[in-house]
Amino acid sequence: MFVQMCVKGMHGITLEDACAIMGSRGLTCAWWRHAGRISSAEIDERLTAEELDLHVNSYEDKHPTRGGRVKDESPFISLTAGQVERDKYEADNLTHPAHLVAMRFATNFGNLRGECFLFYCWVIVGMRPSVPVRHLAEEVRELNTYARFSPFQLEGEIVAKVEVPPRQIEKFEHYECQDGRDGLPELRRLGTVYNKKGYISPHDVTNYRPMLKKPDRLGN
Amino acid sequence: MARLTSLASVLAALELPEDEVLAPRDGREGGPPVAGAPREGYVVGSMAHGAQPGYEIWVNARNQAQFYAAYAEMLEPGRRSRSRRRQRSRQRLSLGRRPGDGGDAWVGEIYPEGHWAGPATLATSYRLAAQYAALVDARWATKLAVRAAMAYVSSGLPFGLFLATGLLDDETLNDRVTLRALVEPFRNPEASDAIRHPVQQTYLLLAASSRPWLRDPLRHALRDAERRLTAHGLYSIGPQGIPLGDYVDLAVALRYDDDSAGLGGSGASFTEIARRLAGLQRIQATALRAAQRNRFMWRRGASAIDLENVALSGLALRHRPWFGELSEAISEQLVRDDELAELPLWTMGEVETELPDIADSVTDIMREPERAWRLGDFREPDTETDPWTGEAFRTRETTRSPTARSADEEHRSPASPTRPDYPVARRDDAAPGTRPKANPDTESYGPLGPTSIEYPQSAAYGSDDYASDGDEGDDGDDPYSGDK
């Protein structure tokens, strides 16, 4: 397992919503948002490879076993960590940085004229497919893990499950996409809000030991 | 006989099979596709008028082209220095702390100067913009593609030369200044690691095989290239994951056709080239059909045109004065295949048709690529034509507000966040349908207003527990619309 920093692009929310997501709600899956209340047993039932496949490849289709569309029923949350296409930059010619990919989703594929948000967070990713394990994210961009070919693999998708808690959300950036000169959209960052109260850096909880600078309060 | 003969036929081919006809979001009935749907009410990103086959793909292609072009433009070095000047100017004016962090300051943070990610993303973004623009306007797409090619060249990647020589004809390339800019970085094989990389060597070899006049300046970089590349022949490269050896075989077929290479020049090579290209294009069609299975992404973000494949076709079509003849021969090879296999040929044909009219602009872009974004005709489609009627229209600039709302909506409901302490200009100060008045002291700030309000760095976050609210059920609009 490893810690992966990711970005989540969102639109259709206000600054107040964004603060609430980072402060208390966390990033939650559509299923939870729509159901209002879900149980551990239900979560176990929903975290399957079939559901993940629906989320990744049939997002807007009708869910085969539930009432609504997959996008309203999915227990997964799409994040991106970027992707360099199949090879290092010198070898191939397309690079998909996380910011660019997240911004593409946040602006609703270039359709949005208004405000959008990028949430920066971390998740723990399994080195092998681990769909039933709620607290491990799936690296669907990784061809070694998910060998099947996806034409949209270049989204650099990391799929979290059910929620990304506020403790793992470092900050959000607030952007506005508006028509600039000659009508070409212009992406302006309106501000950045850090989760100073709640964020726990992965460095604080993983095998990372900073060099000794000065004795701490315990004299170590 | 080619089946993709117009943009409308391409869009129809790209339409999802057995797709349900979605009702327009303005509440009118959806109904089957209607020819010649009216343009009134055309709003980018909505289904405000009839559902022509491929209409949504066309609208989204335009928006995506604009998005990627805008993103690339934000990374242009000239634009960044202008931003820095603007920031220094603000500091001199002692305007205090800006709310947020100032428009495009994010560029320098995310793509720090000197790091490869910036130039790489610049090139990628222009390339993606060109690919989407190809479904809107071939002139616009060509200019964006040429800018992408120059970005690759300035990063030391032969892929840029491959793109430019594939898309452009000898007449356009025959400009001493642009030719030097294109070729000079690749004369010396020691100039960068990238030149010696097998994939980039392959692109260099293909460019030189297509154009005999490139062989002399590139002779050092390509010495013994074919033999060296043999060892890498089974590696999959490019967006379609095609074995590198297939590219080399095409390069060899082009060279065998060439009298000046002393290898003959037989009619057999014409057929061989057509056969090889048809094979490559079949692979792309298969990949596109696979991509259609993800209907969400296909409708919004499918990039049906692959510039690499287009340029590959271009290199062969421009190898000799046989553009139409070879194009027809490839189409013949594909006559029993998926019509999407013809996409690269159709795109290349569109580029060929429009190139004479934009040759001057293209030369300007190649001479001064970093200034291209300043050119008015670089930023927008040259012509906005209804693909289904052929009628020209241009309503976007005059009807769409910055938030894609009508003027009345804009006035009634300012699109500002709900927090009372949020530092966004009160848009209701502005007259209906107009942009908010700029603060004369902060003219360059755009829509942001007062500068004395702090951004909520330590905002008092909401304390409600999402799960325990009990009132978060599915009884209203999901505020996270469009969120995946």
Question: What CA–CA distance (Å, rounded) separates B15 from B52?
Answer: 9
CB distance from A99 to chain B under 8 Å?
Answer: yes
Judging contacts by C-beta atoms under 8 Å, the chain B residues touching residue A10 are: 480, 482-483
Give residue B299's Cα distance to chain centre: 16
Judging contacts by C-beta atoms under 8 Å, the chain A residues touching residue B124 are: 93-96, 100
Q: Per-residue pLDDT averaged across A139-163, rounded? A: 65
B88 in helix, strand or coil? helix
Query: Residue B53's CB: how many other CB atoms inside 10 A?
Result: 20
- pLDDT band at residue A139, thresholds of 50, 70 and 90? confident
Question: What CA–CA distance (Å, rounded) separates B45 from B56?
Answer: 8
Q: Please report the pLDDT score of residue B355 as a whole number.
A: 95
Question: In this structure, are residues A102 and A9 in contact, taking their beta carbons and an 8 Å threshold?
Answer: yes
Q: Please report the pLDDT score of residue A217 as a whole number.
A: 60
Judging contacts by C-beta atoms under 8 Å, the chain B residues touching residue A151 are: 287-288, 290-291, 294
Alpha-carbon distance B274 to nearest alpha carbon in chain A (angstroms): 25
Q: Please report the pLDDT score of residue A218 as a whole number.
A: 58
Interchain contact, B417 vs A176, CB within 8 Å? no
Tens-digit pLDDT string for chain B (484 aa): 788 999 999 999 998 876 544 434 443 333 333 333 333 333 343 344 456 888 888 989 999 999 999 999 888 887 765 455 555 544 444 333 344 455 678 888 888 888 878 888 899 999 999 999 999 999 999 999 999 999 999 988 999 999 999 999 999 998 888 889 999 999 988 887 888 889 899 999 999 999 988 989 999 999 999 999 999 988 888 777 788 999 999 999 888 766 554 444 555 588 889 999 999 999 989 888 888 888 888 888 777 888 999 999 999 999 988 999 999 999 999 999 999 999 999 999 999 999 999 999 999 999 989 888 887 677 777 767 788 877 776 543 433 233 333 334 333 333 333 233 332 323 233 343 333 333 333 222 222 222 222 333 333 333 333 332 333 333 344 444 445 6
Judging contacts by C-beta atoms under 8 Å, the chain A residues touching residue B116 are: 89
Judging contacts by C-beta atoms under 8 Å, the chain A residues touching residue B193 are: 90
What secondary structure letter does DSSP report for A118?
E
Question: What CA–CA distance (Å, rounded) separates A175 from A113?
Answer: 11
A9 in helix, strand or coil? strand
Judging contacts by C-beta atoms under 8 Å, the chain B residues touching residue A16 are: 417-419, 462
- Dump pLDDT digits (tens) for A152-174: 545 568 899 999 999 999 999 99
CB distance from A20 to chain B under 8 Å?
Answer: yes
Question: In this structure, are residues A165 and A149 in contact, taking their beta carbons and an 8 Å threshold?
Answer: no
Interchain contact, A90 vs B197, CB within 8 Å? yes
Closest chain A residue to the Cα of B104, Cα to Cα: A188
Mark B295-334 as b/e (b = at least 16 C-beta within 10 Å).
Answer: bbbbbbbbbbbbbbbbbbbbbbbbbbebbeebbebbbebb
Q: Which residues pair with A161 in a beta bridge?
A: A76
Interchain contact, A151 vs B291, CB within 8 Å? yes
Interchain contact, B103 vs A188, CB within 8 Å? yes
Judging contacts by C-beta atoms under 8 Å, the chain A residues touching residue B430 are: none
A62 in helix, strand or coil? strand
Alpha-carbon distance B234 to nearest alpha carbon in chain A (angstroms): 15
Interchain contact, A72 vs B478, CB within 8 Å? yes
Interchain contact, A38 vs B467, CB within 8 Å? yes
Q: Please report the pLDDT score of residue B259 as a whole number.
A: 57
Q: Please report the pLDDT score of residue B375 as a whole number.
A: 76
Question: What CA–CA distance (Å, rounded) separates A161 from A164?
Answer: 8
Interchain contact, B478 vs A30, CB within 8 Å? yes
Q: Please report the pLDDT score of residue B291 as a whole number.
A: 82
Interchain contact, B67 vs A192, CB within 8 Å? no
Q: Please report the pLDDT score of residue A60 as a whole number.
A: 84
CB distance from A186 to chain B under 8 Å?
Answer: yes
- pLDDT band at residue A216, thresholds of 50, 70 and 90? low
CB distance from A7 to chain B under 8 Å?
Answer: no
CB distance from A107 to chain B under 8 Å?
Answer: yes
Is the pTM higher than 0.95? no
CA nearest neighbour of B54 among B98, B90, B104, B19: B19
Question: In this structure, are residues B331 and B2 in contact, taking their beta carbons and an 8 Å threshold?
Answer: yes
Task: Identify the residue whose tokens are 């979560």.
Answer: A43
Q: Per-residue pLDDT averaged across A123-135, rounded? A: 91
Query: Residue B385's CB: how many other CB atoms inside 10 A?
Result: 16
Q: Per-residue pLDDT averaged across A43-70, rounded? A: 90
A133 Ramachandran zone, left/alpha/beta (phi>0; psi -120 to 50): beta
Q: Which residues pair with A176 in a beta bridge?
A: A115, A188
Alpha-carbon distance B389 to nearest alpha carbon in chain A (angstroms): 24
Question: What CA–CA distance (Å, rounded) separates B161 from B152?
Answer: 8
Tally A–B CB contacts below 8 A: 263
Question: What CA–CA distance (Å, rounded) separates B249 from B263?
Answer: 15
Q: Please report the pLDDT score of residue B317 as a whole number.
A: 95
User: Which of A13, A99, A176 lies at the smallest CB-CB distance from B480?
Assistant: A13
| Nearest-5° Cα angle at A108, A104 to A113 | 105
Question: What CA–CA distance (Å, rounded) separates A172 from A9?
Answer: 10
What secondary structure letter does DSSP report for A82?
-
Question: Considering chain A, what is the average pLDDT of its residues?
Answer: 84
B469 Ramachandran zone, left/alpha/beta (phi>0; psi -120 to 50): alpha
CB distance from A97 to chain B under 8 Å?
Answer: yes
Interchain contact, B474 vs A32, CB within 8 Å? no
ipTM: 0.81
Alpha-carbon distance B325 to nearest alpha carbon in chain A (angstroms): 31
DSSP H/E element including B56: helix B55-75
Alpha-carbon distance B103 to nearest alpha carbon in chain A (angstroms): 4
Instruction: Please return the burial class of B288, using the count of CB atoms within 10 Å of its CB with bins 0-12, 13-18 and 19+.
Output: buried
H runs (alpha helix) in B103-167: 105-110, 117-133, 138-154, 159-167
Mutate to test the interface with B, among A77, A111, A112, A174 (most CBs of B within 10 A): A111
Q: Please report the pLDDT score of residue B399 as a whole number.
A: 33
Mutate to test the interface with A, among B71, B461, B478 (most CBs of A within 10 A): B461
